[in-house]
Amino acid sequence: MTTVTTVYKVTGMSCGHCEGSVSEEISRIPGVSSVKAVASSGEVTVVSAAPLDEEAVRAAVDEAGYELAGQA
């Protein structure tokens, strides 16, 4: 099975709770198989079955209370 790994930059994350909130929201997007958020670098690595709609990722990050700065 082919997967796509995309790294996004998210601003505003500062702790483990932030990482969890962002990961939880992004993991709800259909097709996402894993999410790893790292507050110290502001990077969120998303593995999905197909390329994700960046607007869907932006909406999920926004829902968690942070801002998507784009792909890293």
- Locate the domains of the chain by residue range: 4-71
Residue bearing the bigger pLDDT, 2 or 57: 57
Given 3-state DSSP classes, what are the helix, strand and coil percentages for the chain, each rounded to the nearest 5?
30, 35, 30
Mean pLDDT to the nearest integer, 3-8: 97
Decide: residue 69, CB within 10 A, 0-12 exposed, 13-18 middle, 19+ buried.
Answer: middle
Cα-based distances in Å from 25 to 1, 2, 4, 57:
24, 23, 18, 9
Q: If you average pLDDT over every residue of the chain, what do you get?
A: 96
Which of 54, 66, 70 is closest to 19 using CA atoms? 66
Q: How far is CA 10 from the centre of its chain?
A: 8
Give the pLDDT band of residue 66 (cuts 50, 70, 90).
very high
CATH topology (fold) of 4-71? Alpha-Beta Plaits (3.30.70)
Mean pLDDT to the nearest integer, 29-57: 97
> Taking the model in full, what pTM does it have?
0.94
